[in-house]
Amino acid sequence: MKTQGTEALTLRAVARLAGVSQAAPYRHFANKEAILAAVAEDGFRSLTAAMRESVQACGDIPLARLRAVGIGYVTFATSHPSHFRVMFGRGMADRSAFPTLRQVASDTLAMVVAAIVDCQRAGLVRSEEPAEDLALTAWSSVHGLSALLVEGVLDRPAAEVAEMVTRDLFLGLGVRQG
C-alpha cells in the first residue's frame, strides 16, 4: 500500500502481507473500506498525539500553542505519508459509515478549535468570528502545506516551511486593525 496506494489494496493482499489465510481478514473487517477506516482511525490518533506532543514542548503561550498544533500536523504528515494519504484520500469518502473514525477526526479538529479559542481569549486572534471558522482556515492552510510536502511538490525542508506558514497564517487570523 505504501507504494501502490489504496486503490491496489485487496483483502487478499492484506492477508498475504499479514501472513494469514485469505479468510482471516474477513473475521475482523467487513470489506476494504473497513480496513482503510481502521488505518485512518489509527492515523488520526497518531496525529492527535503528535499535535499534543508539539504543544507540550512549546510552553503556555497561546499563540505558540496554536503554531505548535500546526507544526505537529505537518510533522506527522511528512513523517507518516502513507497514513496521511489514507486519512484524507478518496478511498475514505464515506466516513459516516465509521462513527469511531468520525469521532477521532473530530477530536483532532477540536484541538485546533481549542487553540484558536485560547488565542481569542488572549486577544491575539479575531474574536468576532466563530473559532470553528477560523480553525477551518488554519487547518486548510497546514493541510495544504502537508499535502504539498507529502506529494513532493515542495523541495524545501518540512520544518522550515511549517515554521514559515504557521507564522504567516496567524497574521491573517490576527486582530484586524482599523
pLDDT tens for residues 47-93?
999 999 999 998 889 999 999 999 999 999 999 998 899 899 876 65
What value does the mean pLDDT take over residues 88-106? 83
**How far is Cα 71 from Cα 48, in angstroms, rounded to an integer?**
12
- pLDDT of 136 reads 93
Higher pLDDT, 5 or 165: 165
Per the DSSP assignment, residues forming a β-bridge with 95 are none
- Which domains does the chain show, CATH number per domain? 32-173 (1.10.357.10)
**How far is Cα 143 from Cα 44, in angstroms, rounded to an integer?**
13
- pLDDT of 92 reads 66
